Structures are given as structure tokens and as C-alpha cells.
Amino acid sequence: MNITLRQIRYFLALSETGNFTRAAETAYVSQPALSMQIRALEDVVGARLVERTTGGVVLTPQGRAFELHARGVMSAMTELEAGLRQPGRGGRLMLGMIPTVAPYLLPEALPILRARDIGRDLHLREAQTDKLLEELTSGRLDAVVVATPPDAPGIAATHLFQDGFLLAGSAARIDDLRAQALTPDALDPGQLLLLDEGHCLGDQALKVCGLGRRSSRLDLGAASLSTLCRLAAQGMGLTFLPQIARQQEMAAAPGLTAIRFPDPQPSRQIMLLRRATTPAQGWFDDLAQILRQAANPLLDQNI
């Protein structure tokens, strides 16, 4: 069976108007062309779908059954077309985020996304930057939030916000540092707690300090920022704490204290990426604006 969408549209126009001439006008086609498509549809179905009477056209029992299914098909097509015009609105949005952003930004962003009808069918993928970029370029993700400028071709980026690095540790360790001229490059590398290799936050922290991965004697290979914060709160060392994570991590790790570096303060740039071939209008620009809005209360904190 090979029923075309054009035949379905013509048939529904005929069922709604009850007249071949008016149906042809509604479908912007000549009456002979519409009649030919209806006959071809009946041949494919193997049954008469309409009866020609003196009062116009009426549907046969098979025609009424076909009409029910045809309207379902056209309704699904309308939803599909709307979803393609505006990904994320009424359709599935595949969004990726790095682990040092997702736990902090998402709780603020999700209520706004749902209110704007973008988060109704939101699917989140949390992974490291390289994996997210791989899945973005392959089409498995629609957009990703990262903190490393992409060097892959075909990727378009928009700036979301600047996330400052704080220095976090136990109250005793931080008190010892308050009176010093605190700069990242003056820190003892042996006191730094870092994330596992592959996490961009650990590499960015080392870059800020002008160090290499082997410089830190306390590189414990931690897989999460939360683990580092708990270790730092127990006096095991110092760690770089992104400002968007401050409120949540300090609440979860009693005794953790964080201070700012003097200007120019070290920071990371948080970006939203998409494939350059994917239009930004109607979803990507809206998503970027919502993520910026969600970050504001996390960044606007007195420290």
C-alpha cells in the first residue's frame, strides 16, 4: 500500500466540503487532478471511499473509517512540522552539560524551561566535554553547555556567563591565607585538590596557576567537585570552586570556606554550543537567554 500525503489532504478536503469543486478550490488544485487522486487512493485502498449523489459527496463506511485514520496522520504531521520549526517547543530537546555545571545550573533553569514550554520533553546528558562534543557533532545532542572553547569545525558557540573561580578550603586554612597577597600563581601546588584528568575544571585550575598536571602532590583523581569540597572542608587541601557551585557545595560540606582572588579574578567562560548547520531561531536563542537568567542568582552573591 502506497498512500501519499497529497491523497490524504485531498480526501480530507473532499470530506469537509462534500463537493469536488469546492474541495479542489480548498486544495488549490484543479478538479480533474483532485478527482484523479481520489480514484488512485481508492485503487490503493481497494474500496470505494466516497459516493457521488445529487446532493454532493458522502463518505462510504470505508470512507468514514479512512477519514478517522487520515485525521490522525495529519495531526501527527502538524506536530512534527511544528517540532522541526522550533526544536524544544512541544518536541524533544537533547541537551548536554558538563558535570561541573549541570548540578548547579539545572535546578535554577528547569522551572523557567517548563514555564516557557521548552522543558516539557527535555532530555539531559551529563558528560565530560570531549564526549559531549562527539555526541553533538553526531546529532545525538541538540546543544551542549561547556566551559572549554570548541576547536571542532562546524560548531557555533554563544557566551552564557563568566563563572569566577573561588579558593575553597577549611576555615583554618582560608584564615591563614586572608592576610597574604593571594594570587593563583602564589599557591602551593602541593595543597591543590584536583579533579580527574578529562575534567576541564581541573585543567583550567592548573592553567590559572601556571602549573602542569603533575605539579600537585594531592591530585586524588576525584571524579566530582562535591568530593573535592568535602575533602577541602576536612583540611585535606585547597580547591578551586566555581562561583555557581558555591551555595550548594558550602551547604553540603560544613566547614567549607571560600574567598575571592583579587582582581583580575580567574574565571571560566560558560558557553552554549550547537551545530552550525542547525538554525538558532526559535529555540537556541531562547535556551541561551533562559540559562543566563538561571545563572544570575548563583553569580550574584556576596562573598
pLDDT for position 140: 87
Inform me whether the pLDDT recorded for 177 exceeds 80: yes
- The domain boundary residue, chosen from 85, 108, 131: 85
> What's the structural domain count of the chain?
2
Whole-prediction pTM value? 0.68
- The domain boundary residue, chosen from 33, 66, 85: 85
pLDDT for position 120: 53
**Do 45 and 119 fall within a single domain?**
no
pLDDT for position 251: 92
Inform me whether the pLDDT recorded for 142 exceeds 70: yes
CA–CA distance, 189 with 201 (Å, rounded to integer): 16
pLDDT digits (tens, 9 = 90+) for 191-236: 888 876 556 776 676 676 665 545 444 455 566 889 889 999 999 8
Give first-to-last CA distance, the chain, whole Å: 69
Q: Which residue has the higher pLDDT, 116 or 43?
A: 43
**Do 224 and 192 fall within a single domain?**
yes
Long-range contacts of 57-61 (CB under 8 A, 24+ apart): 57/14, 57/15, 57/18, 57/19, 57/20, 58/18, 59/15
pLDDT bucket at 40, cuts 50 / 70 / 90: very high
pLDDT for position 199: 65
Q: Which residue has the higher pLDDT, 113 or 91?
A: 113
CATH number at residue 241: 3.40.190.290
For residue 143, the enclosing domain spans 92-303
